[in-house]
């Protein structure tokens, strides 16, 4: 299977191992983000947010049309407050987002595990974030040795996360 022949949105049938074998230039995330959503395999074009313990922008963006995109949130790796929970995840599903990859934590872990959304994060914390809206949308972000550029494609499954180069 090649990356070119793989559907690029939604919960398509692919294997990240096969994609990597077909194209070793793909970026692979070594950071072991947990698979916490009910959709374990997801892919789509990347949108991004950079924020720190403030999920105002995350809530706003996931409440707008996702068109099959994956939102990558660089929460600077903070374990101190959740960047999404079940309400924000529900609005992401309603708005057609494929998934959310978070360098940070979530809450409502049991509920997210049952929801049809890809969710990867460092873990969970019941403490919520503030909603002042501080941060940046659709800027390139980096973590775990991977550069996440808006418009690049992300694939996530049980084995890990791959990102195309743009």
| Interface with ligand OAA (CB under 6 A) | 55, 82, 84-88, 107-108, 128-129
Residue 70 or 83: which CB sits closer to ligand OAA? 83
- Give all strands (DSSP E) within the chain, no chain letters: 27-28, 34-35, 42-50, 70-74, 99-103, 105-106, 118-121, 123-124, 136-137, 141-143, 146-148, 153-157, 160-163
State the minimum distance, in angstroms, from the CB of residue 90 to ligand OAA.
8
Q: Is 88 annotated as a binding residue?
A: yes
In 3D space, the residue among 164, 163, 165 whose CA is nearest the CA of residue 29 turns out to be 163
Name the residue nearer to ligand OAA (CB basis): 23 or 86.
86
Tell me how far, at minimum, the Cβ of 31 lies from ligand OAA, in Å.
Answer: 22
Residue 115 labeled ligand binder: no
Nearest to 28 by CA among 142, 166, 161: 161
What is the C-alpha to C-alpha distance for residues 105 and 81, in angstroms, rounded to an integer? Answer: 7
**Can you tell me whether residue 36 is helix, strand or coil?**
coil
Taking the C-alpha atoms of residue 28 and residue 17, their distance in angstroms, rounded to an integer, is 10
Query: Is 107 marked as a binding-site residue?
Result: yes
- The annotation status of 1 as a binding-site residue, yes or no, is no
Residue number with the shortest CB distance to ligand OAA? 85
- Between 124 and 129, CB nearer to ligand OAA: 129
Quick one: 74 or 108, whose CB is closer to ligand OAA? Answer: 108
Point out the annotated binding site for substrate.
85-88, 107
């Amino acid at each position: 299977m090649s990356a070119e022949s793989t559907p690029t949105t939604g919960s398509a049938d692919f294997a990240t191992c096969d994609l990597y074998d077909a194209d070793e230039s793909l970026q692979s995330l070594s950071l072991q983000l947990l698979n916490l959503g009910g959709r374990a395999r997801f892919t789509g074009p990347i949108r991004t947010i950079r924020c720190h313990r403030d999920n105002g922008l995350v809530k706003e963006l996931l409440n707008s049309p996702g068109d099959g995109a994956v939102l990558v949130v660089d929460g600077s790796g903070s374990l101190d407050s959740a960047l999404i929970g079940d309400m924000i995840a529900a609005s992401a599903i309603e708005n057609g987002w494929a998934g959310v990859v978070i360098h940070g934590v979530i809450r409502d872990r049991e509920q997210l595990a049952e929801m049809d959304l890809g969710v990867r994060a460092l873990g969970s914390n019941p403490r919520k974030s503030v909603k002042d809206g501080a941060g940046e949308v659709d800027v390139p972000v980096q973590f775990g040795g991977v550069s996440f550029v808006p418009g690049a494609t992300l694939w996530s499954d049980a084995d890990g996360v791959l990102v195309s180069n743009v």
